[in-house]
A and B are shown apart, each in its own frame.
Chain A
Amino acid sequence: GAGVSQSPSNKVTEKGKDVELRCDPISGHTALYWYRQSLGQGLEFLIYFQGNSAPDKSGLPSDRFSAERTGGSVSTLTIQRTQQEDSAVYLCASSFVRLSYFEAFFGQGTRLTVV
């Protein structure tokens, strides 16, 4: 399809394990965002890419979280030594970024459960 694709859709992991979450943005979109949403909560900004660089990493909750983007396309969010409080839905979005045109398209998210 032509939308933002995230994988896996669901992930159950044991506390202390590392996980990788993948986001395939819409082709040609220069901006890519990661958010997380805990049950019943709003969207928490994690990181934002413009091309392959991340001008804003301010939302990453700890040094256990990292993200990269390669080729201006696919992005991976890595959580090391997962904790139970990391359980949430992780959402990715992509967009063009132009002065007057801006619409971010979101994927369906990865539901992460740390047991």
Chain B
Amino acid sequence: DAKTTQPNSMESNEEEPVHLPCNHSTISGTDYIHWYRQLPSQGPEYVIHGLTSNVNNRMASLAIAEDRKSSTLILHRATLRDAAVYYCILRGSNAGGTSYGKLTFGQGTILTVHP
């Protein structure tokens, strides 16, 4: 499985934007980039995903480098409820392959938001 590399931790102040980086230099052409987050004492929840183009939804934005070897999750205005572990994951899309649909989590980035 292609691997991702994220900083262990990041800090932000409330109401400020947060940029969470992820490196995935071995990404294949058919891998989707997914982000999940895990709030304390809860299961992970989906945040956003993309393939090549930048993506926006109500929770966040995903900026994908042109060579797709890195991406950045952007929280436009951090709130205290955004404090969580953020996971960047590559998901294979080669139907019939053993990795199709599989999600493999790394260690993630612990985001601390200060009031």
Q: Are A43 and B102 in contact (CB under 8 A)?
A: no
The number of chain A residues touching the other chain, given as a range, is 20 to 34
Contacts of B99 in A (CB 8 A): 56
Asked if B106 is at the interface (CB within 8 A of a chain A CB), the reply is yes
The DSSP consensus for interface residues of chain B is: loop
Residues 64-115 of A contacting B (Cβ, < 8 Å): 91, 93, 95, 97, 99-100, 102-109
Number of interface residues of B (CB under 8 A): 27
Q: Give the distance in Å from the alpha carbon of A22 to the alpha carbon of B100 in the complex.
A: 24
Q: Are A93 and B100 in contact (CB under 8 A)?
A: no
Contacts of B91 in A (CB 8 A): 102
Among B38, B43, B49, the residue within 8 A (CB) of A107 is B43
Q: How many A-B residue pairs have CB under 8 A?
A: 57
Q: Give the distance in Å from the alpha carbon of A97 to the alpha carbon of B34 in the complex.
A: 13
Contacts of A106 in B (CB 8 A): 43-45
Q: Are A102 and B44 in contact (CB under 8 A)?
A: no
The DSSP consensus for interface residues of chain A is: strand
Query: Contacts A104-B46, A106-B45; is A99 near B101 (CB within 8 Å)?
Result: no
Query: Contacts A95-B101, A102-B34, A102-B91; is A42 near B106 (CB within 8 Å)?
Result: yes
Instruction: Mark B40-80 against chain A: 1 for CB-CB distance below 8 A, else 0.
Output: 00111110010100000000000000000000000000000
Give B residues with C-beta under 8 Å from A: 32, 34, 36, 38, 42-46, 49, 51, 85, 87, 91, 93, 95, 98-108
